[in-house]
Amino acid sequence: MSKRHEQDAMSAATAAEVTASTPTPTVDLNDKAYYIHRELSQLQFNNRVLEQALDERTPLMERLKFLLIFSSNMDEFFEIRVAGLKSQLAFGHEIAGPDGIQPRQALAEISEIAHRQITRQYAILNERLLPELDKHGIRIVRRESWTAAQKRWVHRYFRQEVAPMMTPIGLDPTHPFPLLVNKSLNFIVELEGVDAFGRDSGLAILPAPRVLPRTIRLPDDVCEGGENYVLLSSIIHAHADELFPGMEVRGCYQFRLTRNADLTIDPEEMDDLARALRGELSSRRFGDAVRLEVADNCPKKLTDYLLKQFGLSEAELYEVNGPVNLTRLFGIVSRCQDPTLQYPPFVPAIPKSLKKAEDLFQVINKQDVLLIHPYESFSTVVDLVRQAAKDPAVLTIEQTLYRTGANSEIVDALVEAARAGKEVITVVELRARFDEESNLGLATRLQQAGAVVIYGVVDVKTHAKLILIQRREGQKLQRYAHLGTGNYHSGNARLYTDYSFLTSDAALCEDVHKLFSQLTGMGKLLKMKKLLHAPFTLKKSLLDMIARETAHAEAGKPAHIIIKINALTDAKMIRALYKASIAGVKVDLIVRGTCCLRPGIPGVSQNIRVRSIIGRFLEHSRAYWFANDGDEVLYLASADLMERNLDRRVETAFPIEDRKLRQRIRKDLDIYLCDNTTAWVLQSDGQYVRLQPTDSQTPHDVQQQLLEKYCGPGAPTGR
């Protein structure tokens, strides 16, 4: 070897030694650049909903519905999320999340994005949807287009139905600005002249009667065919002068105020949750102001006046080209009789094992039953509770109730069971947001029937979906359980995707029994064999399963995680998934809404893909699948990967141990991952891109495919 080659070899060896001794640069997983702000991510979800209003493959009335759902989502976003950020500023207690964005900066970004989105929403309504509805004979007839006959009918309606309900409020020193109800429709009126008492303040407020419909169908005899509607706001505008006799109305402009609607109950000063909640519900209507919507033709001096009255800035003012209360247009959607403008109906399937079953207990005793809603009927769950209510062998029924609806068939069955003398124990979560009043009512009804009603644990919401039925069979006591990812709400079960699991597995039923014991009684944490439950074992167990998958990848084994949830915000979970990605684990996340993880960052999350499915059904099911070196593990859960679910709620995750059922869910998850029609893919910059099949690709719509899979190849899809 030449001296030069010898020196080169020595240099190479030295370099190798240096490289070997130099540690691989570690990634700081707390770097704020790796996280997306929660509220900004939620606005991205709302935008994906709004985009559905432009999808011409979707029936027209359903497109209008998506536009209105966007409004409803934005209302709640301001009532809860924006209100929370403003409260931090008000109390001088600003907390930045893992993304490092302070509340003040977040509010500024939210305002910019929300203004842009809401302007676009009204443009879609006025330029696309209303003209297309007009072509199908469905019209909102504007004041300037009213015929003489329509004007006469509207005037009669105003005199008979509207005027008697109106209470004009003049503004002067003895009539200060009224306290207006959250999201109510109001008008600010400019007046000229002096009234009977010599007052000439020049301003008045007109609150629209809340008991009147916001959309009124014109009778056919004053129209030339089709479905014709007028808005209550138009009727009031047209006849506002009649409410101020002898005065001249110089201007009448609609506005709507959004308030903080979150409930705050101090557990240290509460001895009865139900009584405390009843007191708080009335205050929700009059919380602090967070947003003002006005008609875009309202003069600046009046908008400035309103902003001053509500203590809001110009950034919190939204000037809109249309009705300020768009969600009230749901009245038009609900009256639509044209089937071509709506999703075609379908009949949810009944699994073969249940089709001819007269005794559900007999079926569940032999095998576990898995239902996938809405493709498979929720009626099986209702029938199980009904059968339990009538069955003399059933001794006890225990159930959690989070959202059930006003006319719940399941609550009817529980009432029947209690009246029949069975032991009925219900854990009613009174703090289910915006369902508090309904839940107070059903709790009272159950108590009056003789059921034991528990309100869960103070400061920890009971979000788990569980039923436990104990039945005397011969000499033994047999247990049956239902565990679900969704609520016991029959209406939602037709609109939301969710899992229901029916089992008589002794260990799992025993775990459910222990959980009910913890909720209804007091005592130390009970060890469970199969059930994972928050706020105790669920988070740690999920982190352990992610770490185990990470270890498999580090050992050179194939490793894969698939998680389907509604939201991902928990920083510990995100860091664990980043570690898994760095180790080489393939991570597929199907996250319907908020996602604070940034995929596709080189060296950090390049092995993570995040997709969101927006379609006919609200994706609500939660599934956690791990390859586990060939020994697959699958849990279905009531919990998302959010701090509130994992740390401050009672949640459950239950294993699917039957191989066929596990494979069935795994195949369905693959269909989600192949969707190239309704899926949106999250980019590392926090933006979402909608997938579109190329000319050479076969379109895949997961909800359509699942409809055909479970309801038959002839099942209508709406596409």
The answer to whether 278 is a known ligand-binding residue is: no
- Residue appearing with tokens 């908008």: 303
Of 497, 530, 563, which closes a domain? 530
**609 appears as a binding residue in the annotation:** no
Same domain (yes/no): 638, 675? yes
CA 112 to chain centre: 23
Candidate from 250-264, 328-342, 576-590, 592-606 with smallest mean pLDDT: 250-264
Is 364 found in the same domain as 257? no
Domain boundary among 530, 563, 595: 530
DSSP letter at 560?
Answer: E
Q: Please indicate if the annotation marks 496 as binding a ligand.
A: yes
Q: Global pTM? A: 0.90
The pairing of strands 185-192 and 248-259 is: antiparallel
- 143 marked ligand binding residue: no
Average pLDDT over the chain reads: 89
pLDDT band at 51 (very low <50, low <70, confident <90, very high): very high
Rounded CA separation 578/587 (Å): 9
Where does the pLDDT of residue 294 fall: very low under 50, low under 70, confident under 90, or very high at 90 and above? very high
Average pLDDT over residues 164-168: 93
Token digits for 397?
Answer: 């029924």
CA angle 263, 487, 427 (to 5 degrees): 65
List the domain range (segments joined by +) for residue 216: 103-341
Exposure letters 551-569 (e unless 16+ CB within 10 A, then b): ebbeeeeebbbbbbbbbbb
Q: Which residue has the higher pLDDT, 198 or 685?
A: 685
pLDDT band at 112 (very low <50, low <70, confident <90, very high): very high
Query: What would the pLDDT profile of 59-82 be if each residue is shown by its tens digit?
Result: 999 999 999 999 999 999 999 899
Q: What are phi and psi of 260, to 5 degrees?
A: -60, 120
Question: Is it true that the peptide bond before 374 is cis, omega within 30 degrees of 0?
Answer: yes
In a domain, 718, yes or no: no
Exposure class string for 327-360: b at 16+ Cβ within 10 A, else e: bbbbebbeebeeeebbbeebebbebeebeebeeb
Q: Compute the average pLDDT of residues 561-570.
A: 98
Tokens of residue 143, six digits = 């004041």
pLDDT tier, 194 (very low <50, low <70, confident <90, very high otherwise): confident
Inside any domain, residue 34: no
205-261 pLDDT, tens digit per residue, is 999 998 999 999 999 999 988 999 999 999 999 999 999 988 889 999 999 999 988
Position 81 in a domain: no
Report yes or no: 65 and 333 within 8 Å, Cβ to Cβ.
Answer: yes
At 319-328, the pLDDT tens digits run 999 999 899 9
- The answer as to whether 51 is a domain residue is no
In CATH, what number is assigned to the domain containing residue 466?
Answer: 3.30.870.10
Whichever domain contains 155, its CATH number is: 3.30.1840.10
Higher pLDDT, 20 or 389: 389
Length of the chain: 719
**DSSP secondary structure of 102-153:** -HHHHHHHHHHHHHHHHHHHHHHIIIIIHHHHHHTTEEE--GGG--HHHHHH
592 is in an annotated binding site: yes
Domain total of the chain: 3
What confidence category does residue 4 fall into, taking pLDDT thresholds of 50, 70 and 90? very low
Judge whether 67 and 326 are in contact, CB under 8 Å.
Answer: yes
List residues with catalytic annotation.
463
pLDDT of 12 higher than 50: no
pLDDT (average), residues 695-719: 82
pLDDT digit string, tens, across residues 438-463: 667 788 888 888 888 888 777 788 89
What's the pLDDT at 435?
Answer: 57
Query: Does 73 appear as a known binding residue?
Result: yes
Q: Give residue 441's pLDDT.
A: 75
Tell whether 417 and 511 lie within a shared domain. Answer: yes
Question: 604 — phi, psi (to 5°)?
Answer: -130, -60
> Shortest CA distance to 568 belongs to which of 31, 44, 28, 96?
44
Residue 429 lies in a domain: yes
Average pLDDT of 411-435? 84
CA distances from 528 to 424, 515, 653 (A): 23, 9, 12
Residue 191 lies in a domain: yes
Per the domain annotation, does 21 fall within a domain? Answer: no
The pLDDT confidence band at residue 25, using thresholds 50, 70 and 90, is low
Please check whether residues 408 and 552 belong to one and the same domain.
Answer: no
Radius of gyration of the chain (CA): 29
Once rounded to an integer, what is the mean pLDDT over residues 688-695? 93
Of 316, 341, 366, which closes a domain?
A: 341
> What are the percentages of helix, strand and coil residues in the chain, rounded to 5?
45, 20, 35
Query: Would residue 476 count as lying in a domain?
Result: yes
Contact assessment for residue 640 and residue 564, using Cβ atoms and an 8 Å cutoff? no
Residues 547 and 490 in one domain: no
